[in-house]
Amino acid sequence: MFRRATLTILLAIMCLATYSQEVEPLLFADTSILDIELHYNFDELKRDYDSDPNYHSARLRYKNIWGGMSRIDVEIKTRGIFRRNPKNCSQPPLWLRFNSKDVRNTPFEGIGKIKLVLQCYDRSSYDQLLLKEFLAYKIYSIVSPNNYKVRIARVTQIDRITNNKIVMYGFFIEPADMMTSRLKGRLDDRKNIHPNACNKSETTRMAIFQYMIGHTDWSIKALHNITLIEPADAAPPIPVPFDFDFSGIVDAPYALPAEHLPIKSVRERYFNGYCRSLEEFKVEVDYFNSKKEEIIDCIISFYLIDAKNRSRVIDYVNEFYDIINDDKMVKKEFIEGCRTD
Protein backbone atom coordinates (compact mmCIF):
# COMPACT_ATOMS: atom_id res chain seq x y z
CA MET A 1 0.00 0.00 0.00
CA PHE A 2 2.80 2.38 0.92
CA ARG A 3 4.66 1.59 -2.32
CA ARG A 4 1.51 2.20 -4.38
CA ALA A 5 0.93 5.55 -2.66
CA THR A 6 4.56 6.52 -3.15
CA LEU A 7 4.38 5.61 -6.84
CA THR A 8 1.22 7.67 -7.24
CA ILE A 9 2.88 10.69 -5.66
CA LEU A 10 5.97 10.31 -7.86
CA LEU A 11 3.84 10.07 -10.99
CA ALA A 12 1.93 13.17 -9.94
CA ILE A 13 5.17 15.09 -9.40
CA MET A 14 6.45 13.97 -12.82
CA CYS A 15 3.23 15.09 -14.49
CA LEU A 16 3.35 18.42 -12.68
CA ALA A 17 6.97 18.91 -13.73
CA THR A 18 6.11 18.15 -17.35
CA TYR A 19 3.15 20.51 -17.22
CA SER A 20 5.28 23.25 -15.65
CA GLN A 21 7.82 23.01 -18.47
CA GLU A 22 5.06 23.42 -21.06
CA VAL A 23 3.30 26.32 -19.35
CA GLU A 24 3.99 29.59 -21.11
CA PRO A 25 6.33 31.89 -19.13
CA LEU A 26 4.42 34.52 -17.18
CA LEU A 27 6.06 37.39 -19.05
CA PHE A 28 4.46 36.28 -22.33
CA ALA A 29 1.33 34.64 -20.97
CA ASP A 30 0.08 38.05 -19.87
CA THR A 31 -0.82 40.40 -22.73
CA SER A 32 -1.35 43.56 -20.66
CA ILE A 33 1.11 46.45 -20.71
CA LEU A 34 3.97 45.79 -18.30
CA ASP A 35 4.99 48.93 -16.40
CA ILE A 36 8.70 48.92 -15.58
CA GLU A 37 11.41 51.32 -14.46
CA LEU A 38 15.07 51.01 -15.45
CA HIS A 39 17.56 52.87 -13.23
CA TYR A 40 21.06 53.17 -14.71
CA ASN A 41 23.79 55.63 -15.68
CA PHE A 42 22.63 57.04 -19.05
CA ASP A 43 26.01 58.35 -20.23
CA GLU A 44 27.92 55.25 -19.17
CA LEU A 45 25.65 52.95 -21.15
CA LYS A 46 25.19 55.03 -24.29
CA ARG A 47 28.92 55.71 -24.67
CA ASP A 48 29.42 51.95 -24.85
CA TYR A 49 28.01 51.24 -28.32
CA ASP A 50 30.94 49.64 -30.15
CA SER A 51 30.80 46.15 -31.64
CA ASP A 52 31.53 44.48 -28.29
CA PRO A 53 29.78 46.50 -25.56
CA ASN A 54 29.98 45.63 -21.87
CA TYR A 55 27.21 44.95 -19.38
CA HIS A 56 26.44 47.72 -16.89
CA SER A 57 24.70 47.49 -13.55
CA ALA A 58 21.07 48.60 -13.37
CA ARG A 59 17.96 48.21 -11.29
CA LEU A 60 14.64 47.14 -12.73
CA ARG A 61 11.39 47.87 -10.93
CA TYR A 62 8.06 46.50 -12.16
CA LYS A 63 4.47 46.94 -11.05
CA ASN A 64 3.40 43.82 -9.20
CA ILE A 65 -0.10 42.33 -8.86
CA TRP A 66 -0.75 44.44 -5.75
CA GLY A 67 0.02 47.70 -7.56
CA GLY A 68 3.35 48.26 -5.81
CA MET A 69 6.81 48.31 -7.38
CA SER A 70 9.09 45.28 -6.92
CA ARG A 71 12.84 45.50 -7.52
CA ILE A 72 15.26 43.27 -9.44
CA ASP A 73 18.99 43.85 -9.87
CA VAL A 74 19.90 43.47 -13.53
CA GLU A 75 22.75 44.06 -15.99
CA ILE A 76 22.12 45.85 -19.27
CA LYS A 77 24.06 46.55 -22.45
CA THR A 78 23.37 48.04 -25.86
CA ARG A 79 22.52 45.71 -28.73
CA GLY A 80 21.57 45.74 -32.40
CA ILE A 81 23.43 47.20 -35.36
CA PHE A 82 21.74 50.24 -36.88
CA ARG A 83 19.81 51.41 -33.82
CA ARG A 84 22.77 51.00 -31.48
CA ASN A 85 24.68 53.74 -33.30
CA PRO A 86 23.92 57.12 -31.63
CA LYS A 87 24.11 58.77 -35.06
CA ASN A 88 20.96 56.86 -35.99
CA CYS A 89 18.99 56.62 -32.73
CA SER A 90 19.23 58.37 -29.38
CA GLN A 91 17.94 55.26 -27.60
CA PRO A 92 19.59 51.90 -28.38
CA PRO A 93 17.81 48.59 -27.92
CA LEU A 94 19.05 46.64 -24.90
CA TRP A 95 20.03 43.27 -23.59
CA LEU A 96 18.89 42.60 -20.01
CA ARG A 97 20.71 39.88 -18.06
CA PHE A 98 19.33 38.44 -14.81
CA ASN A 99 20.55 36.29 -11.94
CA SER A 100 18.21 33.28 -11.83
CA LYS A 101 17.74 33.68 -8.05
CA ASP A 102 16.62 37.28 -8.41
CA VAL A 103 13.79 36.53 -10.85
CA ARG A 104 12.06 33.74 -8.95
CA ASN A 105 8.35 34.47 -8.51
CA THR A 106 8.57 37.45 -10.89
CA PRO A 107 7.34 37.90 -14.49
CA PHE A 108 10.94 37.22 -15.59
CA GLU A 109 11.23 33.81 -13.92
CA GLY A 110 13.11 31.31 -16.07
CA ILE A 111 14.74 34.03 -18.18
CA GLY A 112 18.51 34.52 -18.10
CA LYS A 113 18.87 37.10 -20.85
CA ILE A 114 16.28 38.95 -22.90
CA LYS A 115 16.02 41.60 -25.62
CA LEU A 116 14.21 44.87 -24.93
CA VAL A 117 13.35 46.95 -28.00
CA LEU A 118 12.90 50.68 -27.32
CA GLN A 119 11.84 53.67 -29.38
CA CYS A 120 14.60 55.03 -31.57
CA TYR A 121 13.88 58.57 -30.29
CA ASP A 122 11.89 59.95 -27.38
CA ARG A 123 9.28 61.56 -29.61
CA SER A 124 5.57 60.89 -29.93
CA SER A 125 5.85 59.91 -33.60
CA TYR A 126 8.41 57.25 -32.75
CA ASP A 127 6.13 55.48 -30.31
CA GLN A 128 3.87 54.71 -33.28
CA LEU A 129 6.82 53.22 -35.17
CA LEU A 130 7.70 50.93 -32.28
CA LEU A 131 4.08 49.87 -31.83
CA LYS A 132 3.78 49.05 -35.53
CA GLU A 133 6.90 46.90 -35.26
CA PHE A 134 5.33 45.13 -32.29
CA LEU A 135 2.18 44.64 -34.39
CA ALA A 136 4.22 42.90 -37.10
CA TYR A 137 5.17 40.20 -34.57
CA LYS A 138 1.52 39.79 -33.60
CA ILE A 139 0.48 39.44 -37.25
CA TYR A 140 3.12 36.78 -37.82
CA SER A 141 1.78 34.84 -34.84
CA ILE A 142 -1.49 34.61 -36.82
CA VAL A 143 0.36 33.50 -39.97
CA SER A 144 2.56 30.84 -38.35
CA PRO A 145 2.74 28.99 -35.01
CA ASN A 146 6.53 29.17 -35.36
CA ASN A 147 7.01 32.70 -34.06
CA TYR A 148 8.60 34.83 -31.38
CA LYS A 149 6.28 35.95 -28.61
CA VAL A 150 6.46 39.59 -27.57
CA ARG A 151 5.23 41.64 -24.60
CA ILE A 152 4.56 45.35 -24.69
CA ALA A 153 5.98 47.50 -21.88
CA ARG A 154 5.78 51.09 -20.72
CA VAL A 155 9.37 51.86 -19.79
CA THR A 156 10.44 54.68 -17.47
CA GLN A 157 14.20 55.13 -17.67
CA ILE A 158 15.76 57.02 -14.76
CA ASP A 159 19.32 58.33 -14.77
CA ARG A 160 21.14 57.35 -11.58
CA ILE A 161 23.28 60.49 -11.75
CA THR A 162 20.85 63.28 -12.69
CA ASN A 163 17.53 61.60 -11.90
CA ASN A 164 16.30 62.61 -15.36
CA LYS A 165 13.43 60.50 -16.67
CA ILE A 166 12.49 59.24 -20.12
CA VAL A 167 9.17 57.47 -20.57
CA MET A 168 8.55 55.48 -23.73
CA TYR A 169 7.11 52.26 -25.07
CA GLY A 170 9.19 49.16 -25.54
CA PHE A 171 8.66 45.46 -25.96
CA PHE A 172 10.36 42.28 -24.83
CA ILE A 173 11.17 39.53 -27.33
CA GLU A 174 11.00 35.92 -26.24
CA PRO A 175 14.55 34.48 -25.82
CA ALA A 176 15.50 32.15 -28.68
CA ASP A 177 16.13 29.18 -26.39
CA MET A 178 12.74 29.67 -24.75
CA MET A 179 11.05 29.89 -28.15
CA THR A 180 12.68 26.70 -29.44
CA SER A 181 11.82 24.87 -26.21
CA ARG A 182 8.19 25.99 -26.49
CA LEU A 183 8.11 24.70 -30.07
CA LYS A 184 9.81 21.47 -28.98
CA GLY A 185 12.76 22.03 -31.28
CA ARG A 186 16.36 23.11 -31.05
CA LEU A 187 18.38 26.03 -32.36
CA ASP A 188 20.25 25.60 -35.63
CA ASP A 189 22.92 28.32 -35.78
CA ARG A 190 24.62 27.12 -38.95
CA LYS A 191 25.04 29.78 -41.62
CA ASN A 192 24.91 29.27 -45.39
CA ILE A 193 22.00 26.86 -45.23
CA HIS A 194 20.13 27.30 -48.50
CA PRO A 195 16.47 28.32 -48.06
CA ASN A 196 15.45 25.41 -50.29
CA ALA A 197 16.93 23.06 -47.68
CA CYS A 198 14.49 24.43 -45.10
CA ASN A 199 10.90 23.40 -44.48
CA LYS A 200 9.34 24.29 -47.82
CA SER A 201 5.88 25.34 -46.69
CA GLU A 202 7.05 27.37 -43.68
CA THR A 203 9.82 29.05 -45.69
CA THR A 204 7.43 30.04 -48.48
CA ARG A 205 4.84 31.30 -46.00
CA MET A 206 7.45 33.31 -44.11
CA ALA A 207 8.75 34.89 -47.35
CA ILE A 208 5.22 35.88 -48.40
CA PHE A 209 4.63 37.39 -44.96
CA GLN A 210 7.81 39.46 -45.35
CA TYR A 211 6.46 40.60 -48.73
CA MET A 212 3.14 41.46 -47.10
CA ILE A 213 4.76 43.79 -44.56
CA GLY A 214 7.25 45.16 -47.10
CA HIS A 215 10.37 43.73 -45.46
CA THR A 216 13.52 42.77 -47.36
CA ASP A 217 16.09 43.11 -44.55
CA TRP A 218 16.43 39.39 -43.88
CA SER A 219 18.47 36.40 -45.04
CA ILE A 220 18.26 32.72 -44.17
CA LYS A 221 21.77 32.03 -45.48
CA ALA A 222 23.31 34.79 -43.34
CA LEU A 223 20.92 34.21 -40.40
CA HIS A 224 20.14 37.91 -40.66
CA ASN A 225 16.96 38.67 -38.72
CA ILE A 226 16.15 34.96 -38.97
CA THR A 227 16.40 32.18 -36.39
CA LEU A 228 16.45 28.58 -37.62
CA ILE A 229 14.92 25.87 -35.49
CA GLU A 230 15.04 22.12 -36.06
CA PRO A 231 11.67 20.64 -35.07
CA ALA A 232 13.16 17.11 -34.87
CA ASP A 233 16.34 15.24 -35.72
CA ALA A 234 17.03 15.29 -39.46
CA ALA A 235 13.90 17.38 -40.14
CA PRO A 236 14.33 20.45 -42.38
CA PRO A 237 14.85 23.61 -40.28
CA ILE A 238 12.10 26.21 -39.94
CA PRO A 239 12.94 29.93 -40.29
CA VAL A 240 11.51 32.24 -37.64
CA PRO A 241 11.72 35.96 -38.52
CA PHE A 242 12.33 38.92 -36.21
CA ASP A 243 13.36 42.61 -36.25
CA PHE A 244 10.88 44.33 -38.59
CA ASP A 245 11.74 48.02 -38.15
CA PHE A 246 12.98 48.30 -41.76
CA SER A 247 9.61 47.14 -43.11
CA GLY A 248 7.10 49.15 -45.11
CA ILE A 249 4.37 48.48 -42.56
CA VAL A 250 6.46 50.38 -39.97
CA ASP A 251 7.77 52.94 -42.48
CA ALA A 252 10.48 54.39 -40.24
CA PRO A 253 12.08 57.60 -41.62
CA TYR A 254 15.55 56.03 -41.36
CA ALA A 255 14.61 52.80 -43.18
CA LEU A 256 15.98 52.35 -46.69
CA PRO A 257 16.05 49.24 -48.88
CA ALA A 258 19.41 47.68 -49.73
CA GLU A 259 21.14 49.44 -52.62
CA HIS A 260 21.15 46.34 -54.84
CA LEU A 261 17.35 46.09 -54.79
CA PRO A 262 15.29 47.68 -57.58
CA ILE A 263 13.12 49.67 -55.17
CA LYS A 264 13.54 53.16 -53.76
CA SER A 265 11.40 52.93 -50.62
CA VAL A 266 10.60 50.25 -48.06
CA ARG A 267 6.93 50.92 -48.83
CA GLU A 268 7.55 49.31 -52.21
CA ARG A 269 7.19 45.56 -51.97
CA TYR A 270 9.86 43.22 -53.31
CA PHE A 271 9.66 39.43 -53.05
CA ASN A 272 12.83 38.05 -51.45
CA GLY A 273 11.66 34.43 -51.51
CA TYR A 274 12.64 31.51 -53.72
CA CYS A 275 10.82 30.05 -56.70
CA ARG A 276 7.87 27.73 -56.29
CA SER A 277 5.32 26.42 -58.74
CA LEU A 278 2.17 28.42 -59.42
CA GLU A 279 0.17 25.71 -57.66
CA GLU A 280 2.34 26.03 -54.53
CA PHE A 281 1.91 29.80 -54.49
CA LYS A 282 -1.86 29.42 -54.93
CA VAL A 283 -1.96 27.19 -51.84
CA GLU A 284 -0.34 30.02 -49.91
CA VAL A 285 -2.70 32.59 -51.45
CA ASP A 286 -5.63 30.55 -50.17
CA TYR A 287 -3.97 30.29 -46.77
CA PHE A 288 -3.37 34.04 -46.46
CA ASN A 289 -6.92 34.73 -47.61
CA SER A 290 -8.18 32.48 -44.81
CA LYS A 291 -6.24 34.64 -42.31
CA LYS A 292 -7.25 38.06 -43.65
CA GLU A 293 -10.16 38.73 -41.31
CA GLU A 294 -8.12 37.74 -38.25
CA ILE A 295 -5.20 39.92 -39.36
CA ILE A 296 -7.41 42.97 -39.99
CA ASP A 297 -9.18 42.45 -36.64
CA CYS A 298 -5.77 42.29 -34.93
CA ILE A 299 -4.82 45.67 -36.43
CA ILE A 300 -8.18 47.31 -35.65
CA SER A 301 -8.15 46.15 -32.03
CA PHE A 302 -4.58 47.32 -31.30
CA TYR A 303 -5.74 50.57 -29.72
CA LEU A 304 -2.24 51.78 -28.75
CA ILE A 305 -1.69 52.67 -32.41
CA ASP A 306 -3.65 55.81 -33.25
CA ALA A 307 -6.51 55.75 -35.76
CA LYS A 308 -4.51 57.38 -38.55
CA ASN A 309 -1.68 54.86 -38.34
CA ARG A 310 -4.05 51.91 -38.00
CA SER A 311 -5.82 53.07 -41.15
CA ARG A 312 -2.50 53.29 -43.00
CA VAL A 313 -1.54 49.79 -41.87
CA ILE A 314 -4.90 48.39 -42.95
CA ASP A 315 -4.59 50.06 -46.36
CA TYR A 316 -1.08 48.63 -46.75
CA VAL A 317 -2.26 45.11 -45.87
CA ASN A 318 -5.25 45.44 -48.20
CA GLU A 319 -2.86 46.35 -51.03
CA PHE A 320 -1.12 43.03 -50.39
CA TYR A 321 -4.42 41.19 -50.66
CA ASP A 322 -5.22 42.99 -53.89
CA ILE A 323 -1.92 41.74 -55.29
CA ILE A 324 -2.21 38.09 -54.25
CA ASN A 325 -5.77 37.88 -55.60
CA ASP A 326 -4.72 39.16 -59.02
CA ASP A 327 -3.37 36.28 -61.15
CA LYS A 328 -1.26 38.63 -63.28
CA MET A 329 0.34 40.19 -60.21
CA VAL A 330 1.02 36.79 -58.62
CA LYS A 331 2.80 35.74 -61.81
CA LYS A 332 4.78 39.00 -61.94
CA GLU A 333 5.73 39.26 -58.25
CA PHE A 334 6.17 35.61 -57.22
CA ILE A 335 6.74 33.57 -60.38
CA GLU A 336 8.84 35.99 -62.41
CA GLY A 337 10.30 37.84 -59.41
CA CYS A 338 11.37 34.85 -57.30
CA ARG A 339 14.99 34.04 -56.45
CA THR A 340 16.94 31.17 -58.00
CA ASP A 341 20.46 31.79 -56.61
Closest CA to 115 of 161, 179, 167: 179
Summarised one tens digit per residue, pLDDT across range 142-184 is 999 999 999 999 999 999 999 999 999 999 999 999 999 999 9
Q: What integer pLDDT is reported at residue 26 of this predicted model?
A: 84
Confidence of residue 24 (pLDDT cuts 50, 70, 90): low
Question: Which of 185-194, 200-209, 230-239 comes out lowest in average pLDDT?
Answer: 230-239
Q: What integer pLDDT is reported at residue 7 of this predicted model?
A: 43
Closest CA to 213 of 254, 170, 173, 272: 272
Bridge partners of 97, per DSSP, are: 75, 113
pLDDT at 11 over 60: no
Bridge partners of 197, per DSSP, are: none
Task: Read off the pLDDT of each residue in 85-109 and give the average, rounded to a whole number.
Answer: 94
Task: Read off the pLDDT of each residue in 309-317 and give the average, rounded to a whole number.
Answer: 98
Summarised one tens digit per residue, pLDDT across range 66-93 is 888 999 999 999 999 899 999 999 999 9
pLDDT at 27 over 60: yes
pLDDT at 319 over 50: yes
Q: What is the pTM of this model?
A: 0.91
Task: Read off the pLDDT of each residue in 307-335 and give the average, rounded to a whole number.
Answer: 98
Cβ neighbours of residue 95 under 8 Å, at least 6 residues apart? 55, 76, 77, 78, 79, 113, 114, 115, 116
pLDDT at 127 over 70: yes
pLDDT at 25 over 80: no
Summarised one tens digit per residue, pLDDT across range 54-66 is 999 999 999 888 8
Q: What integer pLDDT is reported at residue 125 of this predicted model?
A: 84
Task: Read off the pLDDT of each residue in 197-205 and give the average, rounded to a whole number.
Answer: 97
Confidence of residue 306 (pLDDT cuts 50, 70, 90): very high
Q: At 156, is the secondary structure helix, strand, or coil?
A: strand
